[in-house]
Amino acid sequence: MNTQVNLRMPQKLLSSVKSYSDEHGFGSVQDFITETIREKLFDEPEITKGELELVKKLVEVSEKKKLYGTEKELFEKLRRK
């Protein structure tokens, strides 16, 4: 179960975070903040930048080729392999 945390920050910092998140393949500012906290606490990322790029490429190819329609269909296909 995840808990929502509200965070206030200056607009300039938020703009920088958004840019950094986009440039480095994070799906959202929340993903970036969560991963940054995880790295600080455990000294290693849960997923490497290279792994994240591979996942993004897989998603792009899957969407272009319409390899799945819904999340449920995707997981069903993954289970068969």
For the chain, the structural domain boundaries read: 8-46, 54-81
**What pLDDT was estimated at residue 81?**
52
**What pLDDT was estimated at residue 64?**
84
Taking the C-alpha atoms of residue 22 and residue 27, their distance in angstroms, rounded to an integer, is: 7
Percent of the chain beyond pLDDT 70? 94
DSSP annotation of 29 reads H
**What pLDDT was estimated at residue 62?**
81
Residue 3 above 80 pLDDT?
yes
Backbone angles phi, psi at 47, to 5 degrees: -135, 140
